[in-house]
Amino acid sequence: VWNVKTFGASKAGRSELMQMIGCVVAQYDIIVLLEVSQPPDATCGTNTASAVCDLKTLLGSAYSMDISPRVGGSGAEQYVAYYRTSSVKKEGARLFVEPDTNNPLFLRQPYVFEFSGVLNPALDFSLVVSHVKPASDVTAAEILALAQVVIDVETNGLAGKRVIFGGDFTCNILGVPNN
């Protein structure tokens, strides 16, 4: 998971930077970018922004992508997964549903991407992506609430999946236990 910091039109307009981002992404079978900040563009597909589509074009047909709905209210961002289709198959994806919308656990809801291996379908896993709000009074609570996401994935995901967390957890804070 890579927090590319406000990935949108400004970065997409810099061809050398896009080439560098594309080179990094191409080193992985799966990579998720955080902080996709550009508003959606209907020309590339549901929920997608032109910067996301431009990067997909650079990667070519070896990769597919999936992008979350916007999360985070007024500071809305998206998560986008690029994955090599010869290595993994996307089995599903969904936004974590808050158990109590009047008292949300997260400022930016986690998103769950579900994958299985192409050569070994038994190698299946859920990749939970989260971008915890930094330096706020809720940071520790959000990190601790990720346990609720595990319960949700075990209950609502494909049976037997491994759960992998990735994201920007801003863990250098007080109040989060070391274990």
Tokens of 47: 């929920």
In this predicted structure, what is the pLDDT of residue 110?
94
The residue count of the chain comes to 179
Helix (H, G, I), strand (E, B) or coil at 39: coil
In this predicted structure, what is the pLDDT of residue 160?
64
For 18, list phi and psi in degrees, rounded to 5. Answer: -65, -40
In this predicted structure, what is the pLDDT of residue 170?
73
Helix (H, G, I), strand (E, B) or coil at 71: strand
In this predicted structure, what is the pLDDT of residue 132?
86
- The model's pTM is 0.83
Low pLDDT (below 70) residues in the chain: 38-49, 74-75, 135-136, 158-160, 171-179
Closest CA to 132 of 101, 102, 99, 107: 107
Name 68's Cβ contacts closer than 8 Å, sequence gap at least 6.
47, 78, 79, 80, 93, 95, 111, 129
In this predicted structure, what is the pLDDT of residue 49?
61
Strand segments (E) across 132-175: 162-168
In this predicted structure, what is the pLDDT of residue 68?
87
In this predicted structure, what is the pLDDT of residue 128?
93
Tokens of 89: 């198959």
Closest CA to 111 of 91, 131, 125: 131
What are the pLDDT digits (tens) for 99-117? 888 888 888 899 999 999 9
